[in-house]
Structure 1
Amino acid sequence: MSKYAGVRTLILLRHGQTEWNAADRMQGQIDTDLTELGRRQAKEAARELVSRNAIAIISSDLRRAFETASALADHTSLDVVPDPRLRETALGDWEGLTHLEVDADYPGARKAWRLDATFRPPNGESKLEVGARSLPVVRELLVERQDWPGRTIILVAHGGLIAGLTAALLDLPPANWPVLGGLANTSWVQLSSHGPSIDQPGWRLDVWNASAKVAPDVL
């Protein structure tokens, strides 16, 4: 038996590029679509990740994530299960604004938001709140998926959500949450659970911001 037979592998995949990503516009929970490049990125990531033989694909219900997840599911016999708890951070009054507009209207606030997991954009969520909302998704899977040990589950979501969920799974002190930086479109994070029990999953961070490069001839 492999020494990894009892290890649960969790991959967190960020969605492909949207027009708003390309324009540095704050999306939050506004439901935007993938660009053509974003769709190619999703297909490239799918070709890379299909070898993991996932037993489940769960996605944010926002279109940019769900379409990315569907590109992966197309290579498997799995259905994508939508879960609104995997939506991106609610950015409140910042949603729809470009980075420059936020910096002009709220000087210094975006930097504070990056460096302080308790900072909440006006009428939005803090990173700690995002982690708390998404953590139960994984806890439920630990209980419900008896077939997970030795295999992989993939969650498809958003950069802020993935950082918050990763920090929550690793039980990082809030002051240390900013060590997890941004993720590129269709980059992914891999964690593995080595713990003695479901109550003590013992999550480890294996990979941060990995990606399958889109071939230059399709750009």
Structure 2
Amino acid sequence: MTTRLIVWRHGNTDWNATHRVQGQTDVPLNDLGRQQAVDAAELLVRLRPTALVASDLSRAADTAAALAALTGLSVTYDERLRERSFGQWQGLTMTKVAVTRPVEYARWVAGADVVGGDVETLDDLGKRVAEGLQDAADLVSPGGTVVVATHGGSARSGIGQLLGWPREQLRTLRALQNCHWAELTHDDERGWQLGSYNVGPFGERPVPPPV
């Protein structure tokens, strides 16, 4: 039997809209983000999820709440699913980071760990998020579907860790758009596999599980 894991990025925030580094700052959804969560939930409910897990930051928790309202499921919160900690970058626009912390910014653009600024390493990020994703998947019986509401950077790194991808391969994945998701499946023979990526209300539509 195959377990399905949906890794869902939260809806839009004012800091997303202004390209400001959120990291683990608890920035709420804006009006657009709340509508995106409702629109996405109307699609995700068709997958008949049996468990719902979210980062405890409000932008992810409130995104999950839109699906909880349609499914009747309660949400389990897990701080391991939080966004990457960006330390001293948090609250700055990326333009400001590039100007005031150019060496750190250059390493970030190159996909290397940022040295300085108290930015969480990619290995630490991937490991903690993957542990949270695996524990979320373990909540459902084989054949079940769990939806996890998380963040863009944490989603990509956690997925890469589950799949065993090297950092160079992970960089080929574009970031999830707001309120879009990735679908992974797991079975005992093949382990974790990536089924689809960047699915959402304005693009590819999800495929319901077989009856």
TM-score by length of 2: 0.90
Separation of aligned partners in 1, 2:38 and 2:75: 15
- Residue 173 of structure 2 corresponds to residue 184 of structure 1: no
- Return the letter of the residue paired with 2:149: V
Give the root-mean-square deviation of aligned CA atoms: 1.8
- Residue 124 of structure 2 corresponds to residue 129 of structure 1: yes
Q: 1:113 aligns with which of 71, 90, 108?
A: 108
Separation of aligned partners in 2, 1:114 and 1:7: 36
- Return the letter of the residue paired with 1:106: R
Separation of aligned partners in 2, 1:191 and 1:81: 19
Residue 111 (structure 1) shift: 4.3
Contact 1:113 1:120 in 2 (8 A): no
- Return the letter of the residue paired with 1:165: G
Residue aligned with 1:75, SS: helix
- Residue 201 of structure 2 corresponds to residue 206 of structure 1: no
2:96 matched residue in structure 1: 101
1:3 matched residue in structure 2: none
1:62 matched residue in structure 2: 57
Residue 138 (structure 1) shift: 3.1
1:80-99 equivalences in 2 (<5 Å): 80-99=75-94
Separation of aligned partners in 2, 1:157 and 1:117: 22
Runs of 4+ deviating beyond 6 Å: none
2:40 matched residue in structure 1: 45
Contact 1:193 1:202 in 2 (8 A): yes
- Residues matched between the structures, number: 203
TM-score by length of 1: 0.87
- Residue 8 of structure 2 corresponds to residue 19 of structure 1: no
Residue 16 (structure 1) shift: 0.4
2:161 matched residue in structure 1: 168
Residue 7 (structure 1) shift: 0.7
Contact 1:94 1:121 in 2 (8 A): no
Residue aligned with 1:17, SS: coil
Separation of aligned partners in 2, 1:114 and 1:90: 16
1:107-130 C-alpha deviation (Å, 9 max, x unpaired): 153342243354456212022211
- Return the letter of the residue paired with 1:187: H
Separation of aligned partners in 2, 1:120 and 1:182: 22
Residue 149 (structure 1) shift: 1.4
Give identity over the alignment, percent.
Answer: 36
Contact 1:49 1:72 in 2 (8 A): yes
Separation of aligned partners in 2, 1:117 and 1:42: 32
